[in-house]
Amino acid sequence: MTAMPDTPDTPARPARRLDTAKLRQARVAGWVLMGLAVMVALVFARDSAGTAVFRLSRPNDPLALPDLVVAAAPYNYFAAALLAFLGARQFMRGGMRWTSLSLGLGLFIAVTAFLVWATAGKAFSLTGMLQATVVRAVPIALGGLAGVLSERVAVVNIAIEGMLLAGAFTGALIGSLLGGWGGLAAAVAMGGVFGFILAALVVTYRVDQIIAGVVINLFVLGVTSYVSSQVYQEHRFLNNAPVFAPVKIPLLGDLPVIGPVLFNQNLFVYGAMVMVAVATYYLFHTRYGLRARAVGEHPRAADTLGINVYRTRYINVTIAGMVAGFGGAWFTLGSVGRFDENMTGGRGYIGLAAMIFGRWHPVGALAAALVFGFADSLQQKLALLQTPIPSEFLAMAPYIATIVLVAGLVGRARPPAADGQPYIKE
């Protein structure tokens, strides 16, 4: 802040504080890694007997890979040793430079050790789980992307949840009447409408952004629940939409592991990947993206330079709504074809978390969404393996991991400077 007292020692102080903070972060990461090492050695390695078989492809795939067979106990002792090394590395000189990388790698190793332990003596389809990961990450990634697009122009978007729900509802309703593509177009349009409403409320009517988001969420939940309990009960044909089937991309779809995971999915998975790429290009490599970010960081300066702050916010928030509407359609047109009350079940809030976790960057949000999707599918698939850990704890693990990562790693991630503030033109 500019209010910093002008004493001679001020220039040195922030630097020192930064250093100790990083050092402490490195230490904390070290302890976390050590803890993981101990857990892997004592719980997973000691209890692993036999081999774990990971199926990588189905027998009739054109390019079949052999199963991945891992000797459980040796692998887990190795993993524990590796974790201990990474942890110890954090306490040595210069360890703080590697904090993020070590912690990420460490968590990855711990997850593999856990998988090997859970699979020991059994067989498990790795490809199937990864495929489910990508599918489940889609709505979270699109929600996160919608958040990125609107927060980059400094509009806090709590309304992602409502926009997803509106997209899901519209997709099912119009999809039942006009078919899948009509439903999809309507869902995107409806998302855009709520994006526009959010923009109108916060930009023109200067409603507090969080209130506006909460209002949209409540309103959409109310309308969709009301219609589904009041109308769908009698007219079931209105809630019976076609589902987009997976489309296999020739050649790439035949690759082992990568093929089924990335190139044999439905429209929504491809759409999410394309949108993340386009959004990244738009935000960081085009002049419109630069203008949008300028509006998010310093609207007054942007205004002085002739950028229309209000119009930029309207356009970006509306596009964000359309992205969320597309993500919402996944719930109905991309999976079950039917709308249920409150079927998004908080996925919009997880998308919000993914956005913060991904540091307000589209690719970061996608990566965070994949982590949540992985945990989601892991929990589901592990129920089949019957581990002694209660499934509720498995379900909690990703959220606990998020807290650890956010607290230890991302820390003071920086939102766009003007985030949440209305702009009033002079």
Partner 1 sequence: MSEQETEAGLAESLLRRAAPDRAEFEDLVIVPIFAVVVALILGALTMLATNVDLPTIGKSYLALVQGSVGSLNALSETLTAAAPLTLAGLGIALGFRAGLFNIGAEGQLLVGGMAAVITGFSFPGLPMAIHLPLALLAGAVAGGLYAGIAGWLRAATGAHEVILTIMLNLIAFRLVDYMLRLPWVQREGRADPISRSVLTSAELPRIFTWLDPNLRLHLGIVLTLAAVLLVHWVLFRTKLGFEFRASGAGPDAARYAGMRAGLLIVIVMAFAGALAGLAGANQVLGVLGRATPGFSSGIGFDAIAVALLGRSHPWGVLAAGLLFGALEAGGRQMQVSAGVSLDLIGIIQALIIAFIAAPLLVRAIFPWGFRRAAKAPKE
- Positions in the binding site for partner 1 (CB under 8 A): 1, 3, 201, 205-212, 214-216, 218-219, 221-223, 225-227, 229-231, 341, 346, 349-350, 352-353, 356-357, 390, 392-393, 395-396, 399-400, 402-403, 406-408, 410-422, 424
Specify the residue, 279 or 409, whose C-beta has the smaller distance to partner 1.
409
CB of 217 to partner 1, least distance (A): 8
CB of 52 to partner 1, least distance (A): 26
Specify the residue, 283 or 350, whose C-beta has the smaller distance to partner 1.
350
E strands, 194-276, where? 247-248, 264-265
Instruction: Tell me the CA distances in angstroms from 149 to 275, 290, 395, one per residue in order.
Output: 11, 12, 29
132 in Cβ contact with 381 (< 8 Å)? yes
Helix axes 287-297, 267-285, angle to 10 degrees: 80
Specify the residue, 32 or 84, whose C-beta has the smaller distance to partner 1.
32
CB of 12 to partner 1, least distance (A): 16
| Phi, psi of 179, rounded to the nearest 5 degrees | 95, 170
CB of 131 to partner 1, least distance (A): 24
CA-angle at 326, arms to 321 and 329, nearest 5°: 125
Instruction: Give CA 318 to chain center in angstroms.
Output: 20
E strands, 47-125, where? 51-55, 68-71, 123-125
CB of 306 to partner 1, least distance (A): 22
The DSSP output letter for 382 is H
Contacts of 20 (CB under 8 A, 6+ apart): none
Give dist(CA 351, CA 283) in Å, integer: 19
For the chain, what's the residue count? 426
CB of 165 to partner 1, least distance (A): 12
- Report which of 111, 112, 116, 124 is spatially closest to residue 48, judged by C-alpha positions: 116
CB of 228 to partner 1, least distance (A): 8
Specify the residue, 123 or 403, whose C-beta has the smaller distance to partner 1.
403
Specify the residue, 88 or 223, whose C-beta has the smaller distance to partner 1.
223
Specify the residue, 269 or 368, whose C-beta has the smaller distance to partner 1.
368
Specify the residue, 253 or 415, whose C-beta has the smaller distance to partner 1.
415
